[in-house]
Structure 1
């Protein structure tokens, strides 16, 4: 992977995250706030907890920080996969949103 490919993949991931958050907020009637600033998305919940997603360009990784734990993801077989648990980014992110939204 090169830098341009990494940026394309992370841009796609950030767009998917924003769409997911919009849908989740509408479906669960919850006020989620998120802000994208460069290579960082910060999701803020009504209970004042946060989820932070950021890119680590030198490592070609995406990092996810939740209230409980941090995760590092590598792009493997067309998916962002946690390098410790082998779970997909979307599965871990969705679970974290649900837990922190207290739904």
Structure 2
């Protein structure tokens, strides 16, 4: 999908909203104290064990980046889904497994 900066912002705003909903639900279901802060194009998620996950947008590349305790991922929008450019996995999959892994440490 060829997109302009306005479309990119709309899509990433929607993704950030979905991330916040997921984190609220995950924290409730697992009785865990997750803290997250959105500041512009960055969401910082802090876990009770002091580890962090950071999600941010890269406007010049039209990408979303995910930094976990283990590694970093870059996602491109393909067929209306954020897909990792290294593993071909969707953002939701990698994000969910990363949240679970870091919350269990």
Deviations 1:27-72 (A, max 9, x none): 0000000000000000000000000000000000000000000000
- Structure 2: tracts of 5 or more residues without a match: none
Specify the alignment match of 1:8 in structure 2.
10
- How many residues are paired up? 103
Task: Confirm whether residue 61 of structure 1 aligns to residue 63 of structure 2.
Answer: yes
Stretches of structure 1 lacking an aligned partner (at least 5 in a row): none
RMSD: 0.7
Q: TM-score, normalised by structure 1?
A: 0.99
Extract structure 1 runs of 4+ deviating beyond 2 A. none
Q: TM-score, normalised by structure 2?
A: 0.97
